[in-house]
Chains A and B, each alone.
Chain A
Amino acid sequence: MTFRALIPVPDPADGVETTVAADRASRLDGATIGIMYNCKPNSREMLTAIADLLCEGYAIREVVGPVQTEGILLASQEQIDDMASKCDIVLHGLGDCSSCSALSTHNGIAFERLGVPAVVVGTIPFEKSVKAMATRQGYPDFQFVKVTHPLSSLDADAIRARAREALPQVLAILGVSEAATDELTPVGAGRA
């Protein structure tokens, strides 16, 4: 005699369609960079600081934006389509909270689906939020730029310092160079 109970969760694969990462170019020279930011404080500033560093180091053709997401945290599909049509790569964020990390990932993967590599910037404590959303978007190995938490409360100098901290990861995600991603100060990396 056995006892039988119904499973209270749906099939983990239900509703998930595999997303294929966008192809990466081996160099940034000549690339057009898009900046799409959300409502989080310092979002625009952090992404612009990263774009400035890329412009200093490479022969970037043009920077499009910054453009803010039409939704509170999600971009509209029209915005995604428009920026994807104009840019070779897109910088997006911020994810320094749980929902904004996940929804930045949602936006980033939408760009990847259209063949545009996306660099999503977030902070270390939200790795699980990003992973969970990426899995639901069919791209479980999606990588984001993990910088030290927090970002939203920093002043301009500190934001520029975070941008420099982020640069090796930005380049690695874009496939331009191999960069170590495990040398970060584990602030906020507490046990969940």
Chain B
Amino acid sequence: MSAYPSVETADALEAIELFVERGWTDGLPVIPPTEAAVAEFLAVAGLDPDEVVLNIPTTHRRVTVRLAAINAVMAGCLPGYFPVILAALRGWADDRWGSGDPAMFYASNTSTGGGGQLLIVNGPIRDALEINSGVNVYGPGRRANATIGRAMRLIQINAAGFVPGQVDNASQGHPGKYSFCIAENEEDSPWEPLHVECGFGPGESTVTTVSARSPEPVENRMSNTAEGILYTIADTMSRLGAMVNSVGGTVKVVVMGPEHANTIAGHGWTKQDVKRFLAEHNRRSLADLARVGMTEVPEEYTVTVDGVRYARGCRGPEDVLLVVAGGYNAGVSSVITNWAYAPPLGEYIITPIATERG
């Protein structure tokens, strides 16, 4: 460890400035990673520091446990957060990413389309690490959400080489590219949480990774019916600027606020009922698409309803990745569309978080 490359400065403040000067930052000042601080993270991981947790063959980049730990320290993480980060990195390394195309992880992080990388945490580790799932779920205010998400971005920039303006040339990007980590509000949800839906036990902890654009708010404080709320959400899923990139279907994240979820469940709707409804109504007429320049839609991606031909935005209900999060205080939800090409239908990139406590 002592032989690992380092820089010397007069003090920590000078190191902070040096890191900015070298471009080893997301633009914000970082915590200078001392050997002692990194050692604490490595101890929590209990892995060989040189183990490669993410390999990017397109650019011959390899992210090791040590590089991940260094960047996690820089982000301001506590050592206890590191298992979430390692699990998320294993999610990024999943070969189902982008339909199994080996270049799609690279593409999803460099595209002009500007995807970020969303993490959704489930299970008891949310409480243990105080990961926010309630009010202001997208931030600010909670160290775990802010720094775990930031660590993932710093790993992208520093260890994986997705340097903004050089390799990552997103036309606009979005604020989630600084940090994008939420937890599911399992306590206020009327339905089974995401990890249980995916076959994990309620006592297990997981992190789900999605190549994600920014959250789009869905506000409906008027409707007291399931259909009224769900039409509002389906409309946001089906806006033209999203549909022209998702005709045929890919995973879309619906982050439903607890008030919406409980109103809908109060009318007897299960989680699967909701997913079916949203998948069915995630569509846009071919006439609307043609108006904005999309004149060719393959026949297999269309459906005719009441004589009108539509392009579908979901392959099936499984393309609706539904979680409940946010404060139980208003009729507010959000939709996050996906950048990457779809994984196999019904599969999400969800990874168990290894902790001593399981």
**Given A74-B101, A129-B167, A8 contacting B159 (CB threshold 8 A):** yes
Question: Given the complex, which residues of A lie within 8 Å of B113, measured CB to CB?
Answer: 97
- Cα distance A136–B169 when bound, in Å? 16
How far apart are the CA atoms of A74 and B34 in the complex, in Å?
40
Pairwise interchain contact A72-B165, C-beta atoms closer than 8 A: no
List of A residues within 8 angstroms of B12 by Cβ: 3
A4/B34 in contact, CB under 8 A: yes
Query: A-B contact count, CB below 8 Å?
Result: 132
A97 contacts B9, C-beta separation under 8 Å: no
How distant is the Cα of A10 from the Cα of B59 in the complex, in angstroms?
Answer: 13
CB within 8 A of A15: which of B62, B71, B165?
B62
Q: How far is the CA of A14 from the CA of B71 in the complex (A)?
A: 18
Asked if A99 lies at the interface with its beta carbon under 8 angstroms from chain B, I say yes
B7 at the interface (CB under 8 A from A): yes
B8's contact among A3, A74, A106, A133, by CB below 8 Å, is which?
A: A3
Residues B106 and A103 in contact, CB atoms below 8 Å apart:
yes
Closest A-chain residue to B60, C-beta based?
A: A15
The distance in angstroms between the C-alpha atoms of A25 and B353, with both chains bound, is 56
Verify if B277 is at the interface (C-beta below 8 Å from A).
Answer: no
Identity of the chain A residue whose Cβ is nearest the Cβ of B61 in the assembled complex: A15
The interface bits of chain A over 160-177 (1 if a CB of B lies within 8 angstroms of the residue's CB, else 0) are 000000000000000000
Q: Which residues of A contact B34 (CB under 8 A)?
A: 3-6
Asked if B172 is at the interface (CB within 8 A of a chain A CB), the reply is no
B8, B62, B106 interface centre (most CB from chain A within 10 Å): B106
Contact of B165 (CB < 8 Å), options: A8, A9, A106, A192: A192
Q: Is A73 an interface residue (CB 8 A)?
A: yes
- Assess the B102–A10 pair: CB atoms within 8 A: no
Question: Would you list which residues of chain A between 1 and 46 have a CB under 8 Å from chain B?
Answer: 2-11, 14-16
Q: How many B residues have CB within 8 A of the partner chain?
A: 54
Distance (Å) between the CB of B33 and the closest chain A CB?
5
A138 closest partner in B (C-beta): B60
Whether a CB of chain B sits under 8 angstroms from the CB of A57 is: no
User: Is residue A102 within 8 Å, beta carbon to beta carbon, of the partner chain?
Assistant: yes
Residues of A within 8 A of B167 (CB): 102, 128-129, 132-133
Given the complex of chains A and B, what is the CA–CA distance between A132 and B58 in angstroms? 12
Once the chains bind, are A10 and B107 in contact (CB under 8 Å)?
A: no
A16 engages B60 (CB within 8 Å): yes
User: B1-42: which residues lie under 8 A (CB-CB) from chain A?
Assistant: 4-12, 14-15, 18-19, 24, 32-35, 38
Tell me whether A6 and B5 are in contact (CB under 8 A): yes
Residues of B within 8 Å of A74, CB to CB, are 58, 101-103
A7 and B111: CB pair below 8 A? Answer: no
Interface residues in B87-134 (C-beta closer than 8 Å to A): 98-99, 101-104, 106-108, 110-113
Shortest beta-carbon distance from A150 to chain B in Å: 11
| Contact of B7 (CB < 8 Å), options: A5, A11, A153 | A5
* Contact call B103/A97, Cβ cutoff below 8 A: no
Residues from chain B with a CB closer than 8 A to the CB of A126 are: 169
Q: Interface code A48-79, partner B: CB below 8 Å = 1, 0 otherwise?
A: 00000000000000000000000111100000
What CA separation (Å) do A163 and B163 show in the bound complex? 31
Q: Any chain B CB within 8 A of the CB of A93?
A: no
Contact present for A6 and B33 (CB under 8 Å): yes
Q: Which residues of A contact B101 (CB under 8 A)?
A: 71-74
- At the interface, yes or no: B67 with Cβ under 8 Å from chain A? yes
Question: What 6 A-B pairs have minimum CB-CB distances, sorted nearest first?
Answer: A15-B60, A98-B169, A99-B107, A192-B165, A5-B32, A74-B103
14 contacts between A and B (CB under 8 A): A3-B34, A4-B6, A4-B34, A8-B24, A8-B154, A9-B67, A10-B159, A14-B62, A74-B58, A74-B103, A98-B168, A99-B112, A129-B169, A192-B169
